[in-house]
Amino acid sequence: MSKSIVILDYGSGNIRSAEKSLAKVGAKVSISSDYETCLNADGLVIPGVGAFESCMQGIKKVKGQEIVDKRLAGSRKVFGICVGMQIMFENGLEHGVNTPGLHQWPGSVTELKANVLPHMGWNNVEVSKGSQIFNGVESEKFYFVHSYAAKELDLHGTEKISAPLKHYSIHGEKFLSSVENGPLSATQFHPEKSGDAGLQLLANWLESL
Amino acid sequence: MPLAIRIIPCLDVADGRVVKGVNFQNLVDAGDPVELASYYAENGADEITFLDISASKDDKKTIIDVVKKTAEAVFVPLTVGGGIRSVEDVDLLLRAGADKVSVNTSAISNPDLINAISKRFGSQVLVISIDARRTGEKFAVSGYEVTTHGGSKSAGLDALAWTKQAVERGAGEVLLNSMDKDGTKDGFDLELISLVKKNINVPLIASGGAGKVSDFAPAVKAGADALLAASIFHFQEVSINQVKAELKANNIEIRTQI
User: How large is the ipTM?
Assistant: 0.94
- Burial (0-12, 13-18, 19+ Cβ within 10 Å), A158: exposed
Q: Which residues of B touch A192 (CB under 8 A)?
A: 75
Classify B42 in phi/psi space as left (phi over 0), alpha (psi -120 to 50) or beta: alpha
Asked if residue B258 belongs to a domain, the reply is no
Hey, are the CB atoms on A141 and B255 less than 8 Å from each other?
Answer: yes
Q: Which residues of A touch B95 (CB under 8 A)?
A: 14, 16
Q: What is the pLDDT of residues B78-125, one digit of tens each?
A: 999 999 999 999 999 998 999 999 999 999 999 999 999 998 888 999
Hey, are the CB atoms on B76 and A143 less than 8 Å from each other?
Answer: yes
Is residue A190 part of the annotated active site? The answer reads: yes
How many Cβ atoms from other residues are within 10 Å of residue B205's Cβ? 25
User: What pLDDT is recorded for position A5?
Assistant: 98
Surface of B (84-143) touching A: CB under 8 A: 94-99, 121-125
User: What pLDDT is recorded for position B23?
Assistant: 60
Is residue B158 part of the annotated active site? The answer reads: no
Q: What is the pLDDT of residues A14-38, one digit of tens each?
A: 788 899 999 999 999 999 999 999 9
Q: Which residues of A touch B115 (CB under 8 A)?
A: none
Q: What is the pLDDT of residues A59-107, one digit of tens each?
A: 999 999 999 999 999 999 999 999 999 999 999 998 889 999 999 999 9
Asked if residue B33 belongs to a domain, the reply is yes
Q: What is the pLDDT of residues A103-153, one digit of tens each?
A: 999 999 999 999 999 999 999 999 999 999 999 999 999 999 999 999 999
Asked if residue B24 belongs to a domain, the reply is yes
Q: Which residues of B touch A193 (CB under 8 A)?
A: 75-77, 99
Q: Which position among A19, A140, A180, A192 bears the catalytic label?
A: A192
Looking up residue A48, the CATH number of its domain turns out to be 3.40.50.880
pLDDT category, A157, cuts 50, 70, 90? confident
pLDDT category, A1, cuts 50, 70, 90? confident
- What's the length of chain B? 258
- CA angle, corner B193, sides to B236 and B82, nearest 5? 60
Question: Which of B78, B91, B80, B86 lies closest to B13, judged by CA?
Answer: B80
Contact B196/A at CB under 8 A: no
Q: Please, how many CA atoms are within 13 Å of residue B255, restricted to the half-sphere of its CB?
A: 31
R_g (Cα) of chain B, nearest Å? 17
Instruction: Calculate how close chain A gets to B72, using CA atoms only, in Å.
Output: 6
Looking up residue B178, the CATH number of its domain turns out to be 3.20.20.70
Are B191 and B156 a contacting pair, CB within 8 Å? no
Asked if residue B257 belongs to a domain, the reply is no
Which of B64, B69, B75, B197 best probes binding to A when mutated, by most A CB atoms within 10 angstroms? B75
Distances in Å between the Cα of B239 and the Cα atoms of A107, B9, B22, B214 are 45, 10, 13, 12
**CA distance linking residue B22 with residue A177, whole number of Å:** 38
Are A92 and A86 a contacting pair, CB within 8 Å? yes
Which of A29, A52, A122, A189 best probes binding to B when mutated, by most B CB atoms within 10 angstroms? A122
Domain extent at residue B143: 6-249
Which positions ≥6 away from B83 have C-beta within 8 Å? B52, B54, B57, B58, B60, B89, B106
Which residue stretches of chain B are H helix? 33-42, 61-73, 87-96, 105-109, 112-121, 159-169, 190-199, 216-222, 231-234, 240-249
Question: Which of B44, B83, B51 lies closest to B245, judged by CA?
Answer: B44
* A64-73 vs A52-61: helix crossing angle, rounded to 10: 80
User: What pLDDT is recorded for position A61?
Assistant: 96
Among chain A residues, the shortest Cα distance to B200 is held by A116
**CA distance linking residue B153 with residue A120, whole number of Å:** 32
Among chain A residues, the shortest Cα distance to B254 is held by A122
The total number of structural domains that make up chain B: 1
* Single-letter amino acid, residue B167: V
The total number of structural domains that make up chain A: 1
Domain extent at residue A27: 4-208
Is residue B58 part of the annotated active site? The answer reads: no
**CA distance linking residue B137 with residue B180, whole number of Å:** 15
Hey, are the CB atoms on B75 and A195 less than 8 Å from each other?
Answer: yes
Asked if residue B143 belongs to a domain, the reply is yes
Hey, are the CB atoms on B257 and A196 less than 8 Å from each other?
Answer: yes
Which positions ≥6 away from B138 have C-beta within 8 Å? none
User: What pLDDT is recorded for position A183?
Assistant: 97
Q: Which residues of A touch B (CB under 8 A)?
A: 13-14, 16-17, 20-21, 24, 49-51, 115-124, 137, 140-141, 143, 145-147, 169-171, 190, 192-200
Asked if residue B254 belongs to a domain, the reply is no
Which among A14, A24, A140 has the least Cβ separation from residue B99? Answer: A14
For residues A119, A120, A121 and A125, what is the CA-based torsion angle, rounded to 10 degrees? 30
Q: Which residues of A touch B203 (CB under 8 A)?
A: 116, 118, 120-121
- 258 residues of chain B, pLDDT tens digit each: 689 999 999 999 988 998 865 566 666 677 899 999 999 999 999 999 999 988 666 678 899 999 999 999 999 999 999 999 999 999 999 989 999 999 999 999 999 999 999 988 889 999 999 999 999 999 999 999 999 988 889 999 999 999 999 999 999 999 999 999 999 999 999 999 999 999 999 999 999 999 999 999 999 999 999 999 998 998 888 999 999 999 999 999 999 987
Which positions ≥6 away from A190 have C-beta within 8 Å? A17, A81, A82, A142, A143, A144, A145, A198, B77
- Burial (0-12, 13-18, 19+ Cβ within 10 Å), A22: buried
Please spell the DSSP secondary structure of B139-167, one letter per residue. Answer: T-TTSEEEEEGGGTEEEEEEHHHHHHHHH
Question: Which of B148, B161, B218 lies closest to B186, judged by CA?
Answer: B218
User: What pLDDT is recorded for position A126?
Assistant: 98
Q: What is the pTM of this model?
A: 0.95
Task: State phi, psi for A71 to the nearest 5 degrees.
Answer: -60, -50
Are A108 and A92 a contacting pair, CB within 8 Å? yes
How many Cβ atoms from other residues are within 10 Å of residue A62's Cβ? 18
Which positions ≥6 away from B88 have C-beta within 8 Å? none
Which of A12, A14, A15, A189 best probes binding to B when mutated, by most B CB atoms within 10 angstroms? A14
